[in-house]
Structure formats: structure tokens, C-alpha cells
Amino acid sequence: MLENLTDRLSRVAKTLRGEARLTDANIQEALREVRFALLEADVALPVVKDFIAGLREKAVGQEVVGSLTPGQALVAVVQRELIALMGGAAAPLNLATKPPAVILLAGLQGAGKTTTAAKLARLLAAERRKVLLVSADVYRPAAIEQLATLAKQVGVDWLPSDPSQQPVDIVRGALEHARRHYHDVLIVDTAGRLAVDQEMMREIAALHAAVTPAETLFVVDAMQGQDAVNTARAFRETLPLTGVILTKLDGDARGGAALSVRHVTGAPIKFAGVSEKIDGLEVFHPERMASRILGMGDVLSLVEEVHRTVDVEQAKKLAKKVRSGKGFDLTDFKAQIAQMRKMGGLAGMLDKLPAELARAAQGTSVDERKIGRIEGIIDSMTPGERAKPEIIKASRKRRIATGAGVSVQEVNQLLNQFEQTQKMMKMVSKGGVAKMLRGMRHLVPGR
């Protein structure tokens, strides 16, 4: 997401040279580059105009101090303005009200409201809140069943509703049910349309009046681009929005919605959908997103992801095996692949690295389908074969290949990769880190 914007803005730092102070004259070309970058990213034109005007005002007169280059001084101003444009700081949910606190989700059809409702319920349940989900979407086929399935998947309560009911009756009944059963939070999934229309707006306004939500969140598809601005404006005029959730921020979109919606609605971006998986919803941090846009990466989020997903006990056991130089087998190899997948795969990790590091690592990108085949091959082995791969000869290879639905050649490739990994582990245990680094280019699965 926003890859082109990152590339363009990273070039800005190289366009200014040898100036002791930023002036209107020497930043003109750089501002033009920033303007083109934002427009290419599908940021709304009024937002771009305001941003460039604010950027010029803040940049002109800035001293170039210390070891900074003029370009770096300008990028520092761009970063501060991007953070301000996206809200300044992370905005937590405001649920400080008499339970149940109602969260009303609004947005167009296809924005991902139903999935987002379940993802949000999962986050709140992890905070030990008792959550109830209900669908007021009586128009979209299977919307109610979809929410029921997702509620079960994330382990929260769900209240059945029926297409024959009126949406207002559904939410009033859900609120009463949540009170009787001592739920902390009620999340209401509402109906959307393919485009904004008066009927939808009247309905969402009636639902809001019926339950007086603690949070009214506008769910918008980050891939919508310019259209997101018109949609956001229509919802802002109808509802007192308290926040925005951006979905599909991991897509190949130009992503201008991330920079436009906050400006248009005046409501902070509270969450971002970063994958289709049920755990793919993150708190939105404007300062971290600004760093990613400028190619500086988001190492803080990567560290948090590691703490959240890595099995500490398993990591300790593996570290002990590495130190001893013994016992690292194919079961451990598969466990490491699973840990990487929990963190969104290699692509998800690279997306949070600074641009230079990410580009350096691009040659080691991994085909996720090949990763799946590697896991399938290991699953087709017996415990004895995983512990002692050296016993796997021709007949065993044929059996494993048949069980995994792959060729014998792919089984051989995996065994060779694992052998290289074992050698690396032995180098680490003997302090041969330099040799290990030279050998790492052989270890990328699927290359």
C-alpha cells in the first residue's frame, strides 16, 4: 500500500542540496514532487491543496542544522504534516459509559463492515470485555449468517436477527438483551448500499437515534480513492461520526483514502484492516503510518506483532537447541514457518521495515504457495523421518511426495534447504556468525 507514494517522497530528500535555510524558491520543485505524489496516490485535490499550503508555511524559514541535508530537513516537516493530517496520535475507543457501550458501524456495501465487526469484537474480547454482535442488515443475502459464523470463530456472543424484522426493532431488542445479560459492549453491523442514497441515510440515522452509540464508526475501503471522500462527506452530514476504520490497507491500492478521510470527516482514524484474516485489524497510529509512507518503516508495530504472536516457550526451546548445536529437526523447521505466517508472512514483515532494508530483502521474497507445500511435505513424514531426515531414501521420498501431492524433486529441495539450515545452526553454536550470514542466501524456502 502507498508504495508509489513512498518512492516519490523518498526522492524529495535528494532534490535539495547545499542550502543553509529552506526558502520558497529552493523548495518549489520538492513541493511540486510532493503534490504529484499525493495526487498519484488518489488523495483528494482539496486535501492536497491544504496540505501543500500548510507544508510551505511550516517549511519556509526552517534552518538546516547539524548533519541534516536540506532534503532531510524538508522530509522532517513533511513527516510532521502527514502525522497532523492523519490525526496526530492514536485515538482509542471511548467506551466510558454505562454498559453496554454501543458501537455502530456504518459504511457502503463491500467496505468490509461485517468482517470488521468480528475483528473488532475479537480485539475487545482480548481485553476481557463481554461482547455481543448483532446484524441489522436485512437486505444483503446471508449477511446475518455471515456474522453468526464470524462470532463463533472469534468466540463472542451473537444475537439472532431475521430479514423479516425492522432494523430499528433489531437494534432496540439487541440493546435490551445486552443489558439483561450484562454485556460490556454491543457491536451493531448495519446495512450498506452500493452507493449513498437517501433511504440508507434515513435508516442509519434512525438506528443511531434508537441506541445512542458511544462510538459511531465509519468503515471505508482504502481502495476507494477519490470516491471515499464523497462517501465520507455524506456520512458526516448524516451522523455524528466519532471515528473511522480503514479496511483493505494491505491492498494494491494507491491508498489516498488514508490521507483524505480524516481531513474530510474530522473524525480520527481509529483502526486499520491490514489483512483478510480475523486477526487483521490494528490500532491506527498516524506517526507510524507517516514513517511507513516516508520509507522509514514501522519497526514498533513489527516488535508488537512479535510479542503478540511468538510462542515464547517454543522460542526458548529452539534457542537452547541452537546453542547446543543439536536436535534441530524438521518439526522445528515447520514451527518456524508457522511463526512467520502468524506475523503475516514475509511480505507482511517486509512492509514494516524501512524502505532501504525492504528493497535489500526483496530478492529473498517467498511464494506463500511454496511455503504451504513445504508444510504439506513435512506433514506427510512420520515422526521418525522428521527427527532424522537422513533416513529418507528413494522409496520414502516417493511416499512423502505422493502424500503431499508434490514431485520427488520438491521433497529433495526441502531436504537440501533443511540440511543447509542445520549447518547454519551449527555455525551459530560455534560462533561462526560471518560464515552463517554468507550461507543464508541458500536458506530461503521456495527459491
Q: How many domains does the structure of the chain reveal?
A: 3
CA dist 48 and 53 (Å) reads: 8
Question: 3-state class of 372 per DSSP?
Answer: helix
Cα–Cα distance measured from residue 263 to residue 32, given in angstroms and rounded to the nearest whole number: 21
Does the CA dihedral 189-190-196-202 come out positive or negative? Answer: negative
What is the rounded distance in angstroms from the CA atom of residue 68 to the CA atom of residue 22? 12
On whether both 138 and 286 belong to a single domain, the answer is yes
Residue 327 has pLDDT above 70, yes or no: no
Does 408 reside within a domain?
yes
Q: Is 209 inside any structural domain?
A: yes
Tell me if 265 is assigned to some domain: yes
Domain end call among 277, 296, 315: 296
CB atoms within 10 A of CB 27: 25
Q: Kind of pairing, strands 281-283 and 269-273?
A: antiparallel
Confidence of residue 295 (pLDDT cuts 50, 70, 90): low
State which of 33, 57, 85 marks the end of a domain: 85
Q: Are residues 226 and 112 in the same domain?
A: yes
Rounded to two decimals, what is the model's pTM? 0.62
Structural domain contains residue 93: no
Question: Which residues form the domain of 55?
Answer: 3-85
- Give the type of residue at 27: I
Instruction: Specify the higher pLDDT residue, 104 or 25.
Output: 104
Whether residues 289 and 340 share a domain: the answer is no
Asked whether residue 289 falls in the same domain as residue 315, the answer is no
Contacts of residue 202, defined as CB under 8 A and 6 or more positions apart, other chains included, come to none
The answer to whether 384 and 391 have CB atoms below 8 angstroms apart is yes
CATH of the domain at 62: 1.20.120.140
- Cis amide linkage into residue 92, ω under 30° from 0: no
Cβ 397 vs Cβ 408: under 8 Å: yes
279, 420: one domain: no
Report helix, strand or coil for 239: coil
Round to whole Å and give the CA distance between 31 and 17.
15
In a domain, 26, yes or no: yes
Query: Do residue 40 and residue 150 come from a single domain?
Result: no
- Flag whether pLDDT at 181 surpasses 70: yes
280: CATH: 3.40.50.300
Given a contact cutoff of 8 angstroms between Cβ atoms, the answer to whether 55 and 41 are in contact is no
**Whole-number Å distance between alpha carbons of 223 and 260:** 12
76-80, 88-92, 242-246, 334-338: which is most confident: 242-246
Q: Does residue 355 sit in the same domain as residue 402? A: yes
pLDDT above 70 as % of the chain: 67
309 and 279, same domain (yes or no): no
Report the alpha-carbon distance of residue 217 to residue 305 in Å, rounded: 25
Confirm whether 133 is domain-assigned.
Answer: yes
**Residue recorded with cell 525492504:** 358
Is there a single domain that holds both residue 331 and residue 189?
Answer: no
Residue 376: the pLDDT is 87
| pLDDT tens readout for residues 105-163 | 988 888 888 999 999 999 999 899 999 999 988 888 788 999 999 999 999 999 998 88
Query: What element of type H or E holds 282?
Result: strand 281-283
Residue-wise pLDDT for 328-377, tens only, equals: 778 877 777 666 665 555 555 555 544 444 444 444 445 556 777 888 89
